[in-house]
Amino acid sequence: MGVLLMQWEYKTIFFKTKHFFSDKFGFEKLEKELNRLGAEGWELVSSLLQGVGGTDGLIGIFKRPAN
């Protein structure tokens, strides 16, 4: 009996976070984009800050089952 292995596809996106710690960041825009990706079947599996002090951007790593 064979083992069925799940196949995944991945997507990475970069959110500019220059003003992450201020009201200028736009959390509503980020939330809207995350909801859009979720509706397409993408699941956020990891995120990390990038840049000096982590203030340049936020990298989101997503996965979904491959077709």
Q: Is the pTM of this model over 0.85?
A: no
Other CB atoms within 10 A of residue 50 CB: 13
For 29-53, the pLDDT digits (tens) are 889 999 999 999 999 999 988 887 6
Six token digits for residue 15 = 């959110």
- Detail the DSSP E strand segments found in the chain: 8-16, 43-50, 57-65
For 5-38, the pLDDT digits (tens) are 999 999 999 988 765 555 566 778 889 999 999 9
Handedness of CA 36, 38, 40, 42 (dihedral sign): positive
Q: How far is CA 31 from CA 11, 14, 15, 26, 58, in A?
A: 17, 14, 11, 9, 13
